[in-house]
Amino acid sequence: MKPKSFFNKLLEKIAEGILAISGSITTLAVLLIVIFLFKEGVGLFNQSSVDENSIIAVNKQNPINKLKPSDVKKIFDQELTNWKQLGGNDEEIVVVRFTDISTYYSDEKLGANLEHLPACFSNLTDSLKGAIVYMPAKYALKDFKGKKIHVDKVSLLDFFAGREWFPTAEPSAQLGILPLILGTLWVSLGAILLSLPLGIAVAIYMAEIASPRFRSFIKPIIELLSGIPSVVFGFFGLIVIVPMIQKTFGLPVGETGLAGSIILAIMALPTIITISEDALRTTPRAMKEASLALGATRWQTIYRIVIPYSISGLTAAAILGIGRAVGETMAVLMVTGNAAIMPKTLLEPVRTIPATIAAELGESSQGGLHYKALFTLGCILFIITLAINLTVEYISTKRMNNK
């Protein structure tokens, strides 16, 4: 008997150990997600916005040594035309891209196998006082007569407050995520404004007004609605809602923030309804009866007693609804038009953070600036949802302590 009971005890302990390990898996997963997202994303702020394999050079006599990424873009877009505007000499800026070299030198001079290319770059930079040359780093040999320009690293401020998202811009990628943040906020806010009143109304109807029969009819419908995959919502939005918006508002394109908001509103409904209904149901029956016994109608009881009583739960529902909207990817990607511009109204195309990641990660090269920027966007999403979850957690524990 004894050895068997020892064996049994061992078995119990082993089982408990296995269970404990499984129990910690979610914690492990969250930690891993944090590590891997930040590992990939954090390098962004240590890197120049110019591709590693290229350089930007100017004439030796040019007093300018450093440029901001945004200035580089303006120069190459010819929005800045004189070095004076950047604090340099009064000299016209001459932009020379790699391919422009053939307008200065004939094919013979460049050599049959482009063997004279480095020398040509060198001479050109030396001869044009206002030159700014964007060229592969490998052609800048030791006797290169130009001066390499140092382009600033991507700064936090540029990243968060930059108004231009153009990660594939040459020579300097523009990584301002303000339009993406605003796009996400606009679309989510629009969604919550549409779905919150509707969702809470349905929750009130289900919790307080509807007969049990109607409730058992609507409950599975809400469940099914939450089960429909987001691509299907996106597809539906693309084919039905987008043309509808285009026609109603007479727009050139129907793929707008509003289309995203409408689809997201439908998608957030099940979350909002379920959580709100649970919250409303926590109102003690005694309190409702007391109100009715004082001659209040059911409706007066709902808005004077039930809603104030469950307000923290309703808040949690709203916050979680926003959380769902902020993180939703596919449906938004399909209907918002994805223009990375600063949104002014909901009736123009916008681009959200998740949609940006989904659309661009495939075409970015692993470890490159663009790739890192997208992972940083992922980190931002992660932090937003973490904040939302912690807020909801805080609200619900506070509510439990109060009662």
Partner 1 sequence: MNILNSSTSKRKKRSESISFWTFRLMSWFVCSLLFIILGFIVYHGISVISWEFLTSMPKEGMTGGGIYPAIVGTLCLIGGSVLFSFPIGVLAGIFMNEYAKDGVFVRFVRMMTNNLAGIPSIVFGLFGMSLFVNTLKFGDSILAGSLTLGLLTLPVVIRTTEEALKAVDNSFRTGSYALGASKLQTIRKVVLPIASPNIITGLILSIGRVSGETAPILFTVAAYFLPKLPHSVFDQVMALPYHLYVLATSGTDIEAARPMAYGTALVLIAIVLIFNLLANALRRYLSKKVKMN
Partner 2 sequence: MIKIESKNVNLFYGDFQALKDVTMAVEENTVAALIGPSGCGKSTYLRLFNRMNDLINNIKIEGEVLVDGQDIYNKGINVDELRIKVGMVFQKPNPFPKSIYENVAYGLRVNGVNDKSFIEEKVITSLKHAALWKEVKDKLHKSAFELSGGQQQRLCIARALAISPSVVLMDEPASALDPISTAKIEELIHELKKEYTIVIVTHNMQQAARVSDYTAFFYLGELIEYGKTANIFTNPTNIHTQNYVTGRFG
With binding defined as CB under 8 A, does residue 400 bind partner 2? no
Among partner 2, partner 1, none, the one that 16 touches (CB under a kind-dependent 5 to 8 A) is partner 1
Question: Please, which contacts does 233-238 make with residues 24 or more away whose CB atoms are closer than 8 Å?
Answer: 233/263, 233/266, 233/267, 233/331, 234/263, 234/330, 234/331, 234/332, 234/333, 234/334, 234/335, 235/334, 236/263, 237/262, 237/263, 237/331, 237/334, 237/335, 238/334, 238/335
For residues 171 and 56, is the Cβ–Cβ distance under 8 A?
Answer: yes
Please report how close the Cβ of residue 310 comes to partner 2 at its closest, in angstroms.
Answer: 11
Give the list of residues 6+ apart from residue 177 with CB closer than 8 angstroms, or none: 159, 160, 162, 165, 353, 377, 380
Instruction: With contacts defined by CB under 8 A, name the span among 149-157, 277-285, 298-306, 308-316 that binds partner 1.
Output: 298-306
CA distance 146 to 136: 14
23 binds, among partner 1, partner 2, none (CB under 5 to 8 A by kind): partner 1
> How many residues belong to the site for partner 1 (CB under 8 A)?
84
Instruction: Count H helices and E strands in the chain, helices first.
Output: 19, 8
Q: Which is nearer to partner 1, 87 or 227 (CB)?
A: 227
Q: Give the footprint of partner 1 on residues 182-221 (CB under 8 A).
A: 198, 201-202, 204-206, 209-210, 214, 218, 220-221
Q: Closer to partner 1 at the Cβ: 161 or 224? A: 224
Q: Which of 17, 21, 93 lies closest to 62, judged by CA?
A: 93
**Cβ nearer to partner 1, comparing 26 with 46:** 26
Helix (H) or strand (E) holding 174: strand 174-175
Between 64 and 198, CB nearer to partner 1? 198
Nearer to partner 2, 197 or 308 (CB): 308
Contacts with partner 1 in 105-124 (CB under 8 A)?
none
Identify the bridge partners of residue 133 per DSSP, sorted by sequence position: 57, 96
* DSSP H or E stretch at residue 401: helix 369-402
- Side-chain half-sphere of 145: how many Cα atoms within 13 Å? 15
- Where in 308-327 is the site for partner 2 (CB under 8 A)? 308-309
Between CA 325 and CA 193 the distance in angstroms is 11
Positions in 282-311 near partner 2 (CB under 8 A): 284, 286-287, 289-297, 300, 304-305, 308-309
Chain residues 158-177 in contact with partner 2, contact rule CB under 8 A: none
When asked if residue 361 is in the footprint of partner 1 (CB under 8 A), the reply is yes
CB 162 within 8 A of CB 177: yes
Closest to partner 2 by CB, 142 or 213:
213
82 is a contact residue toward partner 1 (CB under 8 A): no
Our finding on whether 326 is near partner 1 (CB under 8 A) is: yes
Site for partner 2 in 375-394 (CB under 8 A): none
**Residue of the chain from 36, 42, 61, 311 that contacts partner 1 (CB under 8 A):** 36
Asked if residue 254 lies in contact with residue 336, where contact means CB atoms within 8 angstroms, the answer is: no
Question: Smaller CB distance to partner 2: residue 301 or 336?
Answer: 301
* Nearer residue to partner 1 within complex by CB, 75 or 384: 384
* CA nearest to 192, candidates 388, 390, 330, 397: 388
Alpha-carbon gap, residue 261 to 273, rounded angstroms: 17
Phi-psi region of 274 (alpha: psi -120 to 50; beta: other; left: phi over 0): alpha
Instruction: Residue 248: name its binding partner from partner 1, partner 2, none (Cβ under 5 to 8 Å by kind).
Output: none
Distance CA(58)–CA(128), nearest Å, equals 9
Q: Please say whether the dihedral angle defined by the alpha carbons of residues 226, 228, 231 and 235, taken in this order, is positive or negative.
A: negative
Shortest reach from residue 274's CB to partner 2, in Å:
22
As measured in angstroms, the least distance from the Cβ of 368 to partner 1 is 13
Determine if 398 is a binding residue for partner 1 (CB under 8 A): no
42 binds partner 1 (CB under 8 A): no
**Residue window 13-32: x/- pattern of binding to partner 1, with contact defined by CB under 8 A:** --xx-xxx-xxxxxx-xx-x
Residue 340 interacting partner from partner 2, partner 1, none (CB closer than 5 to 8 Å by kind): none
Which of 92, 116, 113, 88 is closest to 104 using CA atoms? 116
Residues 200-229 that bind partner 2 (CB under 8 A): 211-212
Using CB under 8 A, list all residues that contact partner 2: 211-212, 284, 286-287, 289-297, 300, 304-305, 308-309
